[in-house]
Amino acid sequence: MLFEESQNLTPKQIVEKLDQFIIGQKEAKKAVAIALRNRYRRQKVKTELKEEIVPKNILMIGPTGVGKTEIARRVAKLVNAPFVKVEATKFTEVGYVGRDVESMIRDLLNESLRLVESEKFREVYDQAKNQAEKDILKLLVPWPGSQDKSADENNPFKAFFGGQNEEADDEEGNNFENKQENDIREQRREIKRKRRELKKKLEAGELEEEYVEIDIEEQQSFKDNPLMGQGFEEMGINFQDLFSNLFPKKKTKKRLPIRQAREVLIEQESQKLIDYEQVQKEAIYRAENYGIIFLDEMDKITASADKHGPDVSREGVQRDILPIVEGSTINTRYGRIKTDHIMFIGAGAFHEKKPSDMIPELQGRFPIRVELKSLKKEEFYRILDEPKNALLTQYKVLLETEGIKVEFKEEAITEIAKMAEEVNSQTEDIGARRLHTIMEKLFEEVSFHAPDMKGQKLSIDEEYVRQRLEDLVKKEDLSRFIL
C-alpha cells in the first residue's frame, strides 16, 4: 500500500486489519486506531492550530506476550510509518554510563530514511533495470577497444589534473575514427545484431548463469567508523557528504553470474537516479509527523515509594525521557528533527508498580491508558488457528517442504490451548509466547525425522497432543521449585 493511501485508513479499517494478525485486545487496537486517525485529521487542518495539536500518547498495561509490541509494530507497518522499539531500561540518567535517550530519535530517523529510500528504489526500479540490462549486453558484446580506457578511469588523480573522461556513447564508435567508414558501419551492424540476439535470450532467462566482469563502486560509510562517535552526530556533521566528492569512488572488478550482476547494477543505477537530498528531507518530515516510538518496560524505570538506591537513577531516566516526549529538537547527522508530533506508545507489565508511580510530568504525557488482558484458553485457540500468520499454518507449510501433509483435529487444537493456559497459570505468564514452546515440543520428533517421512500424512488428534505434552506440563510445574 502506498504511503498516501495508508494514511487515509479509517479507525474501523485499521482495527479490521489488525484483527487479521492479533487476537483480542479490542480496547488497545481501538485506542491506537483513533490516535492514528487523529494524526491524519491534523494534517488536514489548515490553520495555525495545526502545530498546537499534539499526538495523544498511549500507555499499554499488561503482562508479556499479550500483544502490546505486536499491535504497535503491525499498525506502524500498516500505515508505512517509521517505527522503532526501545527498552526504557537501556537508558541511564545523564552522568551515568549508558545509552543516551536522544539515540531513540536518531534510530527513528534512520528507519525513516530506510523506508523512504526503499520507496524511491521501487519507483526507479524499472528504469534502473533497463539500464542494467543494457550494461550487461555491452559487457557480453563489447565494442572493440572499449576496455582501453579502464586505466584512465581507475586513476584517482586524473580529475585533479584536468584529464577528460572519454566515455563511449551508446554507439561507442569514437575509437574507430581513423578507420574506413564502411568498416566501422559494418562492425556496428554486426555488434548491434549480436546484442539483439542476446537481448532476447536475456529476457527469456537463458543467460542467468553466464559470467560477466563488472565494476563495483565501494560505498564509503562512516556509520561503523569508531572515530565517528556520538559527539559528531550531536553537532549535526555529516562527514560522509563532506568527503564523498573530494575523491573519486574506488572501484573493484568482480566476476559474477548475470543473475547476481544484474542486481548489483540495478542498485548502482538506482543510486544514480535517486535524489538523496530529497530522500533526507522526506525522511525527516515523516519521522517528525508520522514516526512511532514504542517505549517498552516503562514499569522498570518507575521508582517505588521509598525511592532509595537505584530508584533515584530510574526517576532520572524518566526526567531525561520527558523533554523528548514533551517536544524538543535533536541534532542528527542528517539535520535537526523535532519530536513534538512523534507518537510515543509506552508499555509495561506494572505488576508491582502502578502508572501513578511515574513522575507526574511523564504521566501527563501518556493520557490514554489501555489495559491488555491475560490470554485464556479461548484466545489461545484462536491464536493457533485464525490469524494469517497462525502457528498451525506455519508448521503445516514448514513440513510440506519435506513432503509431509499435516492436519489438526479440532479437539487437538483445544487441548493445546488448554495446556498453554494451564502452564501459564502454574508458572510465569508469558502469554502467546507459551505456544511457541508447546508447538516446538509437539513437533520435536516429527521435525527431527521429517527428511525420512516424505509422502506421509500426519493427523494430530487429542491423544497425540497429550502423549507428547504431558511431560512438558509436569516439568513446567516442577520448575517453580528448582533453582
Top-confidence residue, 171 or 31: 31
Residue 352 maps to a domain: yes
Q: Which of 8-17, 93-102, 194-203, 283-292 has the lowest mean pLDDT?
A: 93-102
pLDDT of residue 234: 46
Q: Are residues 157 and 265 in the same domain?
A: yes
pLDDT of residue 225: 42
pLDDT of residue 107: 94
Contact status, residue 310 vs residue 90, Cβ threshold 8 Å = no
- Count structural domains, the chain: 3
Alpha-carbon gap, residue 304 to 351, rounded angstroms: 12
pLDDT of residue 479: 53
Q: What is the CATH number of the domain that holds 442?
A: 1.10.8.60
Top-confidence residue, 112 or 155: 112
Which CA distances in Å does 315 have to 89, 318, 353, 360, 404? 11, 5, 13, 11, 55
pLDDT average, residue stretch 325-342: 92
pLDDT of residue 240: 54
pLDDT of residue 305: 57
Q: Are residues 230 and 147 in the same domain?
A: yes
CB environment 24-44: b (16+ within 10 A), e (fewer): bbeebbbbbbebbbebbebee
Q: How confident is the model at residue 392 (pLDDT cuts 50, 70, 90)?
A: very high
Q: How confident is the model at residue 5 (pLDDT cuts 50, 70, 90)?
A: low
Q: Are residues 394 and 429 in the same domain?
A: yes
Single-letter amino acid, residue 351: H
pLDDT digits (tens, 9 = 90+) for 208-245: 898 888 888 765 433 334 334 444 454 445 555 555 55
Q: Which of these, 11, 431, 433, 374, lies nearest to 19 by C-alpha position?
A: 11
Strands (E), 180-247: 211-217
Q: Are residues 96 and 7 in the same domain?
A: yes
Q: Are residues 248 and 275 in the same domain?
A: yes
Residue 321 maps to a domain: yes
Q: Are residues 312 and 450 in the same domain?
A: no
Residue 481 maps to a domain: no
pLDDT at 264 over 60: yes
What are the φ/ψ torsions at residue 35 (nearest 5 degrees)? -60, -40
Q: Which of 226, 252, 281 is the last residue of a domain?
A: 281
pLDDT of residue 26: 92
Q: Which of 281, 308, 326 is the last residue of a domain?
A: 281
What are the φ/ψ torsions at residue 293 (nearest 5 degrees)? -115, 125
Residue 423 maps to a domain: yes
Q: Which of 81-90, 116-125, 392-401, 417-426 has the lowest mean pLDDT?
A: 417-426
Q: Are residues 77 and 156 in the same domain?
A: no
Top-confidence residue, 359 or 424: 359
Residue 170 maps to a domain: no
Q: How confident is the model at residue 304 (pLDDT cuts 50, 70, 90)?
A: low
Residue 256: which H helix or E strand, with range? Answer: strand 251-257
pLDDT of residue 317: 86
pLDDT of residue 154: 45
pLDDT at 371 over 60: yes
Residue 125 maps to a domain: no
pLDDT digits (tens, 9 = 90+) for 22-77: 998 999 999 999 999 998 899 888 888 888 888 899 999 998 888 899 999 999 99
pLDDT at 111 over 90: yes
pLDDT of residue 125: 93
pLDDT average, residue stretch 78-101: 78
| pTM for this entry | 0.78
Q: How confident is the model at residue 307 (pLDDT cuts 50, 70, 90)?
A: low
Q: Which of these, 69, 27, 90, lies nearest to 430 by C-alpha position?
A: 69
Q: Which of these, 358, 289, 290, 365, lies nearest to 326 by C-alpha position?
A: 365
pLDDT of residue 245: 55
Q: Which of 221, 250, 281 is the last residue of a domain?
A: 281
pLDDT at 193 over 90: no
Which cell goes with 376? 485464556
Q: Are residues 319 and 413 in the same domain?
A: no
Single-letter amino acid, residue 9: L
pLDDT of residue 476: 57
Q: Are residues 361 and 426 in the same domain?
A: no
The burial class, CB within 10 Å (0-12 / 13-18 / 19+), for 454 is: exposed
> Within 13 A of 222's CA, how many CA atoms are on the CB side?
16
Q: Are residues 361 and 390 in the same domain?
A: no
Alpha-carbon gap, residue 47 to 45, rounded angstroms: 6
pLDDT digits (tens, 9 = 90+) for 278-293: 999 999 999 999 999 9
Top-confidence residue, 215 or 116: 116
pLDDT of residue 156: 43
Q: Are residues 222 and 289 in the same domain?
A: no
Residue 128 maps to a domain: no
Residue 276 maps to a domain: yes
Alpha-carbon gap, residue 172 to 475, rounded angstroms: 75
By residue range, what is the domain housing residue 406?
377-472
Which cell goes with 58? 498511549
pLDDT of residue 244: 55
The burial class, CB within 10 Å (0-12 / 13-18 / 19+), for 59 is: buried
Which cell goes with 465? 497432543
pLDDT average, residue stretch 370-392: 90
Three-state DSSP at 15 gives helix
Q: Are residues 302 and 265 in the same domain?
A: no
Top-confidence residue, 281 or 305: 281
pLDDT at 103 over 50: yes
pLDDT at 271 over 70: yes
Q: What is the mean pLDDT of the chain?
A: 81
Three-state DSSP at 427 gives coil
pLDDT at 365 over 50: yes
pLDDT of residue 218: 64
Q: What is the CATH number of the domain that holds 302?
A: 3.40.50.300
